[in-house]
Each structure stands twice: as structure tokens, then as C-alpha cells.
Amino acid sequence: MKQRLIPTLLASSIALASLGANAATVTIGTVNNGDMIRMQELSTAFEETHPDIKLEWVVLEENVLRQRLTTDIATGGGQFDVMTIGMYEAPIWGKKGWLAPMGNLPAEYDVEDIFPSVRNGLSADGTLYALPFYSESSMTYYRTDLFEEAGLTMPDQPTWEQVRDFAKALHKPDQGQYGICLRGKAGWGENMALVSTMANAFGARWFDEQWKPEFDGQEWKNTVSFYVDLLGNYGPPGASSNGFNENLALVNSGKCNQ
């Protein structure tokens, strides 16, 4: 059986892992974001150089994809030959023996050229189990025109409190402009990747030094309360249904200030 989310996006980074196949049809499970759609557009070029192989794509929303891929690989269903997964799954699945190591790579593929943080994140016990199609990190986009108009200046390293103050100043829902757009849709690759990033800024940890969960600590309460208040007060309507694609559409249409 052959196997494979990014930012991840993830988070999370999304990676590509294949267990190889001789079948005439190779079924690929991937997420419905722009980068994966562009990858799909390369099918024609691949099939022209590999006329004995046909690529069949299964493109799904992120939460649905993760559920289906995890079920398929855990049960040995074999529905997919290639999967796009994220840095969250790759080391876990690799350690469980659900993925084949990335060995016998072409000489022109320089593994050392992959960012160490990405390469290590796609490995388990020093063994690489996936290759990156792209990697991603958290960042803040903002409307420079609206900031200038309001006399606001975005610092190089804004605090979340500053981000909230900017959102409050620029929130004009009556004009279809919202102070901030964040992922609100439930799911690891949706809002939890963001909330984990916020938690770091608030001093929260997933576990202590004895691997005891710390989710009931004050730092986590502060993180979640801030996230809910920020998005509830200065986000767009229906924010709890917005994931990557929904927020991207809002940004592209000029409705998000940051």
C-alpha cells in the first residue's frame, strides 16, 4: 500500500509522501487549497511522460480530508496511493509504520536543501517519511492603506494586544470591513493550529516537564478567552465557519483589515 494536510497549515506545512505504485491508476488525496489545485494542474505533464499511469485526484475540504486519510491508512484500506498530509501526521504515521521511508531518492533531489525545521518535522527517529511540496509559518497581513488612513503603524513584532487594538480601530462592519479575520472553523488544521501559536505568546504549554497536560492553566484560559473575544468582537459574521479558504476569499475581496 502506498501513502501519503501543509501550514499545514497547517499550522501547519503540507508534505507529499508516496509509497510508490505500479498500478495504472494512482489515486491522490489532497486538500482543496490553491497550492494543491496548482499541483493538480501538473497532471497533464506527468501523464504525457508516463503514459502507462493515470492520475486520479480526490480533492476534499481539510477536516474531511484528514478524517478520511487517517481512517484509510489506520485500517489499511488502501483507497489512496499518494496523500498530501502535514507535519502533524507525518512523524506519527511514520513511527507507527504506516508510511514507507523516503529512500532511493533521485540524485538531483538534495534532501539537505530542505529547511532543517521542515526536514526534522517530517521525520521520526531520524528517518524522513515525507517530502515537502511547500512549507508555511504564521504571519500577519494587514491593509497598509487603511492603517495609513487611520494613522496607525504596524510594528515589526506586534503583540496580540496591539493586534486587537488595531482590529478595534479598523472594524467597520457597516461598511463591510472587519477588524480581523482568523480561522474559526474547528479542527487541528483549521483553528487549533492558530490557537496553539497564540498560546505560545501567552506563555501556555501543552505539557509540563512530566508530560502532564496543562490545558486547565490560567495561560490557556487567557489564550482562549482572548481568541474568542477578538474574533467575536472584531471578526466577520459567521467566523466559526471560516477556515483557510473562507478567510482567503475575505482578504482577496478587501473585507479584512488584518
Walk me through the domains of the chain, giving residue ranges and CATH numbers.
Answer: 14-132 (3.40.190.10), 144-252 (3.40.190.10)
Give 10's Cβ-side CA count (13 Å radius).
27
Per-residue cell: 77: 484500506
First-to-last C-alpha distance (Å) of the chain: 44
Question: How far apart, in whole angstroms, are the C-alpha atoms of residue 239 and residue 235?
Answer: 7
pLDDT-above-70 percentage for the chain: 91
Beta strands in the chain (DSSP E): 14-18, 25-31, 54-60, 82-86, 123-124, 127-128, 131-132
User: pTM higher than 0.85 for the full model?
Assistant: no
Question: How far apart, in whole angstroms, are the C-alpha atoms of residue 81 and residue 43?
Answer: 15
Burial of 251 (0-12, 13-18, 19+ CB in 10 A): middle
Per-residue cell: 236: 466577520
Indicate the pLDDT class of residue 73, thresholds 50, 70 and 90.
confident
Q: Which of 182, 186, 118, 179 is nearest to 152 (CA)?
A: 179
pLDDT in tens, 9-50: 222 233 444 444 454 899 999 988 888 888 888 899 999 999
Residue-level pLDDT at 232: 94
